[in-house]
Structure formats: structure tokens, C-alpha cells
Structure 1
Amino acid sequence: MEKGFKNSVYAILAIGALFIIGTISINIVLKNKLENFIQERLPDNMIRAFEDITVETFGGSLSVTNASLIIKNKNNNIEHTFINVEKLKISDISYWDYLFNDEIHIENITLENPTIAYYKDRVEKNKDTPSNGIISIYKPIVIDRIKINNTKLAIYEKSKDSTNLYTKGLSVELDGIRIDNNTIIRKIPIEYDTYKAKSDTVFVKVGPYENLTVRDFSIANRNARFEKLTLKTKYSKKELSRLITKERDHYDLTLQSLSIDNIDFGFESNRFFAKSDMVSLVAPILEVYRDKLVADDPKIKPLYGRMLRDLPFELTVDSLKITNGKIKYEERVKSENMGGSINFVELNATISNVSNTYEKPETTNLKITADFMDNTPFTAFWSFDVNNKNDAFLFKANVGALVADKMNSFTEPNLKVKLEGRTNKTYFTIDGNNENATTDMKINYSNFDVTLLRKDGKGEDKFLSAITNIFISKNSKNKEDNFKEGTAEATRDKTKSIFNFLWISVKAALTKIMI
């Protein structure tokens, strides 16, 4: 018994030793093969380095620490992409699926603290590269989960203000990934089930004049939320006017939060699409300044229907909601001052069918409520059909009591006109298209006077004021429930915006009623 027991113990120890030696040997062999692959099998235009590789055959995992990769152009050897990763870990590689199911199955891939810098202007475009099939996948790759933690990403371009995009604290998780020879040739070369992402700071240069920043954002379960978003012109108003040769608005937009619900995007028939059930903007504050002393931009300004219709991708947003917004518009017409302003506060709006995919009889509809010039109730309904090639639209508005001198902050510096009196109630409907509009208006007003100022804006031009007020009716009628009504037509200047079209339509009707 003792001899048999000893033999059994020796056999177990021998097997254990063989297993340990075999495991160590296999680990060493696999490590050497992986190192050789990194050093010899990767393309010559990829400069790679790492501190250490650890292979655990029994657990089916490997780790690479302090890895770096530099990618350069094949022809001129200019370096354009720099990647550093503190730790790359691949866990639970299934040997069974590799041997018997003819696929590479990995449970987890984790990247810790990657830093990525990409110089887009340095990339050399290779005209000889085929558009499809540039990579062949030996076996389908299935990955249960990829996690990229705490990424710092920067994209640069060749310019004085070179940062195109920057983010830090970016973490991304993808679940249910599959890559094969069918997916690799698509615009999005992988399939996945779900994704999550979050980041602390995002900066995007959206053009030569504006920058976008986001304090933090998160995406989970196909819902996205962005906090403290800003879109601002990076130059002061005076600097912008010096830099531009054609008229351009100066923007200052801040958003408390932006939410996008039930996001879906991808490609269908090689055309990109983006969908959402609801987009919500909370507490947007928008200030727009236009210097009219700068030369006009003669480009045709499309109406919103055409802008949606001509998008290079398919957009479907069922509903868009704006809550507690503020808008201030300043315009400078005279060189001796910085212009005047009008504003809307407590602005709330719902917009349905923001889309270029709907078909008749669906239309895009806007319902807006706000306080105009601080305390004048304003409601509007705006409707148009994206599929209408004439860009027909209907704009209805209801304006409450307005003390006329509230408008003087805009009319005095820009028009050299001072208003006195009161409009009690105003209704108007604009039925228009890309060419012209007809405006029906009715208005109740009282004690209305117009004072024309001298060119320097410092005093009244009494003669012209007297002549003007001869032709202006001071009251709609004595009773507050009576209205003066009128209809007028206006022709659109296609080099101006839709808001200019709305304004000249209202002005035409108002002029006809009062004079």
C-alpha cells in the first residue's frame, strides 16, 4: 500500500511538474511568437514599442504594458498618428471556438489610459489603395466586450489654430462585437449590440470662426446627454468685423443641457442615416450680432424646408423641444454706434418632424411661446412641407400688448426712429414660399407717434416728424376691441435669411394699415 501510494504521489507530482513546465514553455513560445509578430509582421510604416508582454495560457489571456504605436505615410515617411497605451489586456480567449467553431472568440479587451494624437494634414492619400477588400480577416472575430478607459484624444490640422478636436477622460464600452470579411468592407466595419461612452471635456473646432465645447457627456442605452454646451465665435465682435470680407453673424450660444433619446445611426444602401425620438434643449441662451457695415454676402440663403431636403444624409427627429430659452439679436447699421437689439425671453418651443424622410401628408410644425422685449406675450405657429419644392410655408403669430418705446433700443440707433404709444393686440398670418408672401394682419393700437431723429441721432428732426405723423393713424379705433386690418404682399430677397423675409412681410402689412 505504501509503495502504491508513493507511486501515485510521484505520478501526480510528475504530472504537475510537466503541466507547470509545459505551461511555462507554451507561455514563453507564445510570448516570443507575439513579440515576433509585433516586430516583424506589422507593416513597415508602423513603428511599435512596448515594455513587457505577459501571456497566461491556462487563463487564455495576455497583457501588453506601456505600448506605443506611430503610423507614418508609406511614401514620404511623415509621421501622422501617435498612440500610447499604459496597458492592453485581452482576457478569456476561447481555444475551443478557435479549434472547433472556426472563429476567434475573446471575452474582454481592455485598454487603460490611451493617448492618441492624429495630424490629419500630414496624412498622404494613396490613390492606388482599393476601396474594398483592403483587409482580409482569416477567421471571424467575436468579442463580448471592449472597454477603453480614460482616453485622451486630440486631432490637429494645419493652421494657426491647429486643434480640431480634443477630449480627455473619454471612456467607451462596446458589447457584442463581430468583425468578419463582410463587415470589414462597410462604412462602419464592425457589428455591435450596445455601446456606452462618457467624457469629462470635449472641444471641437466647428469651422474657421466658431468653437464648440462640452463640459461632460454620457451615452448609454442609446440615450445621450451633454452638459454645459457652448458654441461661440472665437473672436470679439470688432475683431470678427475686421477679419471677414462678407457679412457673418457673431454667435454666443450656451446650453444648460442637451438630451438625445433613442439614438440610431448607420448606413443603408451606402447612405448615412441618423434618427432620434426626442431632442431636448434646456435653458439655451443665444446672442447673435450682425454688423451690417460689412459687405453683404450675395449667396442664396435657402429656406428651412430646402435645407432639410438637401442634407447629404437622412435625418429623422420625431420631436425637438426647447425649454426656457433666451434670444437676443443685435444689429449694427450705423458706424457711430454698436447698434440696437431685440430679445425674446421665457422661450419655449416644440418642433415635430424635423426630418427629410417623412412623406405627405406629414409636415414640419413649430409651436413657439415667448415674451418679446421682456414682457410682451408672443405665440407663433410655423409649418412647412420638406417635400414641397416651392418651399411653401405658413407662419401665424399673436403678439400681446407692447409699449412702443420698448422697440427704441433697436430703432433709434439703427433706423433713427423713435416710437411712442402702444399696440394692444396684433395678429398676423404669413402665407409664403421661396418667391413671395401674402400677409394678413389686424392690429389694435393707440396714441401712436413716430419721431424721426437727425442723422447724428441726438435730436428730433421736427419737420420730417410732423410730415410723417400726418400720414400715420394715431389709433386703430377708440375701443380696445376694435382692430384695423390689412393685407400686403412682399417679395423675397433670396440673399437674405428667412427672418428677413418674415420681417419685410410684417413691415409691409403694418405700413399699409397705419398709413
Structure 2
Amino acid sequence: MKLLRKIVIILLSFFLLIAIASFGLSWYVSEKLPSILRGEKDFPYNVSYANLDIDLLSGSFTIQNTYLAPKDSLNQGIQTGAFGKIERIEVNNFSLWALLCKNQIAVSEVIIIKPDVTLFFRKEKYDPQKDFVKPFENTISTGKLVIKNGEFKMLDSLQKPSVKVANISFELTNIKVDSTTLKKDIPVRYRDYALKCDSLFFDMGKHYTITANKLSTTDSKLSLENFRMTPKQSREQFTRMQPKELDQFNLSTKKISIPNLDWGYFRDTLYVHTPKITLDGIYANIYRSKEPADDYTRKKLYSEMLRSLKFDLDVKQLDIKNTSIEYEEQLTFSKPAAKVSFSKFDAKIKNIYSLTGHNNQKKLPATVLDVKCLFMKSSPLRVTWSFNIPDKSDAFTIMGHLQNIDAQKTDAITMPLMNARTDGHIKEVKFTFNGNLRHGSGPFAINYDDLKVDILKKDGKKENKLVSTIANTIVKNDSDDKLKETHVEVDRIQHKSVFNFLWRFTEQGLKQSVLPKTVVNIANNKKEKKDEKEKAKTKGKK
């Protein structure tokens, strides 16, 4: 009986000792955890919380209602820097040895639930490495970070959101931050990540905002829904703000999809590689007012733009589906804008790349655009456009085939820009435009019937009957039911875009096909004199 009593006393004493040790250790850990953060002289944040629950048996702890604020915010009296409120933090499998002996919080997993983070405006630009990664390198290490239902916003100097993101879910695994990674452009090593969020808002600055409904991305794919780039100003307001001509864009797309994405840094050079990008349901409106002064800086062709990129880009194919594109040009606000539209626009663009990362390859594939659409909502148009990015002459070929054009459909272009109405039927237009940096040429062919032109008076409403009669006397009204072919030669105006180059080629082809040679020669002489003036201005602005 005495032996049994001794055993019971020993067991009770042992369990009591374990309980006391566990309580004491829990108390010590609960004091130690926050003291590590408070005692780290380089740690820039004050941290407070409502409750800390520690389970030593499972090696986990939970923190409720955590608040984060910059240490210097209390002295300044105004909110500046990063502030955060976190409903719950769950930490799993922490190392008691690292805590007791190394003053470091080392864990296998951190789960952050409902964080709400606000970056207030400050004069010093935010640096992700300095502000958000480096402060934690000596105090906290984890193999996995999970964020659930997060909110984030960044405010400008007027306390208005410049970035705002809702319902953030984020997961980062196999994380490593050390002295080696901190020297890199991405100061964190990881195996993979997954990010999802809703209601993305970004203020691009003076003229545009960007919004999107859903973003979903990992290290190997990306999906974005209902993307919009919206102007802040009306057309007239935007125009009044410009010292030189500048396009205004209104863009949206229902979905952007990159199912296989490989990106990162190699020897400090960013690379972005993917076999395919799909843009579905694009609406693009490009507006230009001719009231501001011309911009005489030289415009690069697309081959040079890609050749000049400073990072390694390689996209094997870009698919554009279910798209509508509008270009509007307005001479003056007293008249409506001329509009060209391309609907049911589908395109495949192959081999989009930069020379960065391809310098050692002797032969690179040509970039080829294959486009099918409706011109002015009714006329089938097929265009094939090809160029070779390494070719410094920027040579290209554009082949086009346009069918069944009701001439009245082009009034939206000819009335605002040329004070003219057209009537008749253009059965077919074919052309091959071979161009480069300075010159373009190629065959142009047209088949048309009963083509008539009504020249309007200056008010753009009433017909100038005398001039119309003369014009229709000069114009060849039909092509005798066959393709009428001519060879076109045009020079490029260096401060104009490639689309202006194509338009000049098409315009010259129409003149040579529809007008008598004498009239064409007179028009060309006037055009050449005007082009010489344009070239002189371009050279003077280089």
C-alpha cells in the first residue's frame, strides 16, 4: 500500500512538474515572441495583438486581431507608411530551439486570415525589398506563406486610392530569404506561388485608370477577366491638355489567358516565355484630334520596337478573338470624327520576340500576322503581314484582300475628312505592299461599278453641284467588271506610323485606278511638295 502511495505521489508530482514547466514555457514563449520583434532594432514596425494562444504539443500558435504600424508614425502625428490589421494569424510547426537559442521565429507554415493593409503616401518611394522583405529576414523564416481574404490599397498624397485590390488569396511555398537572394531583383526564392484576387484598380497617372474583375496567376499560368483601361478625361479635355498630337485609348477585354507561362530572371535579365497568349473579346477605340500640333519625332516600325526591348520576350503565338477595333480622327470639334471600324476581328500573330536572349542564333523566324475581319461592319477583309525582327532595314510585306464594299459605308470617313460622299459598289480590292524604313511599293488592284462622288460645301452638309459634276466627269465610274491593276510607289514620312504608310499606299492606288493620269500627276506633284515639307520638319526635330 505504501508502494502504491509512493507511485501515485511520484506520478502526480511528475505531471504537476510537466504542467508547471509547460505553463512556464508557454508563458516564456508568449513573452519571447513579441519581444523578438520589439527588440530587433532594424525592425521598422510596431506590432500589437489582442490574444496569443500557444500549443506546445502541436508546435503551433494563433494570434488574434494583430495591428501593424510604422515605428516612426507615432512621432510624426500623421499616417505615413504601411499600416495593417489582421484578423487571425495561424503559425504551424515552429522551432522551439530557434526561439530559445537563436532569437528567431522559424516555422514551417504561416496562414494570415483577413489582412487589411494600407500603404499611405510618403515622399520616399516604397521598396519591396527594403520595406517588406528585409525587416523579417533576421526575425521570421517560414517554408510556406498563405494569405486568405486579404484587402490591399495604396493611397496617393490626396488620400485617394492609386492601387486597390479585394479578396486576395495568395500561397507561396518553399520560401527562402538569405543574404544571397536579397541581392537579386526578386529577393525571395520559392518553388511556386498562386495568387487570386477580385476588383483590381490601378491609377495609371494623368490620363487613365485600369480595372479588372478577377486575376488568377501562378508561376506557370495567368488569367485576367474584364480588363479595362478607361480615360479620365473627355475627348475635348484630353485634346486641350496635349501640346502635341497624341492618341486617346479606350480599351477592354473580356479575358486574357496565358496557360503556360515561364518567367523570371537569368543573370539579372528578365525573361518572359510562353507558347501562347489568348486575348478574347477586345474592344479598342483609338481617337486622335488633329487640333494639337504634329509630333515630328521619328516613329519606330514594329520590328524596331521589338528589337529594342531590353528584356527577353518570346511569345510563340498570340491569338486575338471576337474583337472590335475603331479608329477615329477629328479635324475640328465643329465636325464629327471620321471613323474606321473593324469588327469580328480574329488574328493569329506568330513569333513575337526580342533579340535579348536570341543574340547567338543565326536565323530567327519571321513574325507573321494573319487577320480576318469585317471592314465597316460589312465587307470581308483578309490581311497577312510579315516582317523579320533582326532585319535593321525593317522590311515588311502586307497583303490585303477586301470584298463587297458599299461605297456609302465609307461616308463616315470621307465626309469629315474630305467633305465628300461616295456612291457605288467596290467588288474587290487586292494589294501587296512591300515596304521598309523609307520606301514602299507594290501592286494595287480594284474592281468597282457605278462609282460616284458628291463634293460637299464647307459646312459639310450641302452638295457643291458644280464641283461634283466636274469630279464625276473626271472619275472613271467603273472598271469594266475586272480587276484594274496599277503599280504604286510611296515614300514613308518618318514621323508617321506604319498605318499612315499603308494608308498613303492605298490612297495612291485608288488615285491611279480611278482618276486619269493627268489628274494623278497634278495631285502627285502637290503631294510631293507637301511631303518634302514634312520630311524637312522631321529632320529638324530629330
* Structure 1 residue 165: Cα displacement: 1.3
**Paired residue secondary structure (1:401):** strand
Cα distance change on mapping 1:460 and 1:353 into 2, 3 Å: same
Which residue number in structure 1 is paired with residue 503 of structure 2?
503
How far apart, CA to CA, are the structure 2 residues paired with 1:31 and 1:44? Answer: 19
Aligned: 1:406 with 2:405: no
User: Among residues 436, 441, 444, which one is paired with 2:444 in the alignment?
Assistant: 441
CA contact (8 A) 1:141 1:180 kept: no
Aligned equivalent of 2:419? 416
CA displacement, residues 418-461 of structure 1 (integer Å, 9 cap, x when unaligned): 11111111111111112221132111111112222111112222
Unaligned runs of at least 5 residues, structure 2: 516-542
What secondary structure does 2:424 align onto? strand
TM-score normalised to structure 2 length:
0.85
* Distance in 2 of aligned mates of 1:191 and 1:241: 47
Amino acid at match of 1:208: K
Q: What amino acid sits opposite 1:65 in the alignment?
A: Q
Contact kept? 1:98, 1:105, Cα under 8 Å: yes
Q: What are the equivalent positions in structure 2 for 1:207-286 lying under 5 Å apart?
A: 207-220=205-218, 222-286=220-284
1:465 aligns with 2:468: yes
Matched, 1:174 2:172: yes
- Per-residue CA shift, 1:116-154, capped at 9, x if unaligned? 22245422699xx99xx97896699450x2111122111
Q: Deviations over 1:232-254 (max 9, x none)?
A: 11212222223333222222222
Whether 1:82 aligns to 2:80 is no
Residue type of the alignment partner of 2:203: K
Equivalences for residues 315-354 of structure 1 within 5 A: 315-354=313-352
Residue aligning to 2:514 = 514
Matching residue's letter, 1:356: S
Q: Counterparts of 2:474 and 2:255 in 1: how far apart (Å)? A: 50
Q: C-alpha separation between the residues in 1 aligned to 2:209 and 2:202?
A: 6
* Cα distance in 1 for residues equivalent to 2:309 and 2:155: 26
- Unaligned runs of 5+ residues in structure 1 are none
**How has the CA–CA distance of structure 1 residues 238 and 318 changed in structure 2, closer, same or farther, with 3 Å as cutoff?**
same
Moved more, 209-218 or 86-95: 86-95
* RMSD of equivalent CA atoms: 3.0
1:385 is the counterpart of 2:385: no
Give the match's secondary structure for 1:451: strand
Q: 1:138 to 1:243 in 2, by over 3 A?
A: closer
Would the alpha carbon gap of residues 62 and 136 (structure 1) be closer, same or farther in structure 2, given more than 3 Å must change? Answer: closer
Q: Residue type matched to 1:324 in 2? A: N
Match of 1:402, SS state, is strand
Tell me how far apart the structure 2 counterparts of residues 139 and 114 of structure 1 sit (CA, whole Å): 20
Amino acid at match of 1:153: F
Q: Is the 8 A contact 2:351 2:366 kept in 1?
A: yes
Deviation (angstroms), 1:371 = 0.8
1:180 offset after TM fit, Å? 2.5
Evaluate the alpha carbon distance shift between residue 297 and residue 82 of structure 1 in structure 2; reply closer, same or farther with a 3 A threshold: farther
Q: How far apart, CA to CA, are the structure 1 residues paired with 2:411 and 2:501? A: 22
The residue aligned with 1:197 is 195
Letter in 1 for 2:62: S
1:107–1:44 CA distance, 2 compared to 1 (3 A): closer
After TM superposition, give the deviation of residue 58 of structure 1 in Å. 2.5
Question: Aligned partners of 2:159, 2:498: CA distance in 1, in Å?
Answer: 32
| Residues 289, 332 of structure 2: 8 Å contact kept | no
Displacement of 1:94: 4.3
1:25 is matched with 24
User: Compared with structure 1, are the counterparts of its residues 406 and 72 closer, same or farther at alpha carbon in structure 2 (3 Å cutoff)?
Assistant: farther
Q: Is the 8 A contact 1:84 1:114 kept in 2?
A: yes
Q: What is the TM-score normalised by the length of structure 1?
A: 0.90
Secondary structure at the aligned position of 1:361 is classed as coil
Is the 2:196–2:217 Cα contact (8 Å) retained in structure 1?
A: yes
Q: Is the 8 A contact 1:140 1:180 kept in 2?
A: no
Aligned residue pairs total: 504
Per-residue deviation at 1:48?
3.2
Measure how far apart 1:98 and its partner are. 9.1
SS of 1:503's equivalent in the other structure is helix
1:46 aligns with 45
| In structure 1, C-alpha distance between the alignment counterparts of 2:507 and 2:420, rounded to whole Å | 14
Asked whether the equivalents of residues 227 and 255 of structure 2 are also in contact (C-alpha less than 8 Å), the reply is yes
Contact 1:139 1:180 in 2 (8 A): no
Rate the CA distance shift 1:64–1:97 in 2: closer, same or farther, 3 A: closer
Q: Does 1:67 align with 2:54?
A: no
Task: State whether residues 23 and 58 of structure 1, in contact with CA within 8 Å, keep that contact through their aligned partners in structure 2.
Answer: no
Distance 2:49 2:99 in 1: 27
More helix by share: 2
SS for the counterpart of 2:440 is: strand
Q: Deviations over 1:159-196 (max 9, x none)?
A: x6953211111111112222222222211111111211
Q: 1:43 to 1:191 in 2, by over 3 A?
A: closer
Matched residues in 1 for 2:192 and 2:234: separation?
43
1:151 partnered with 2:165: no
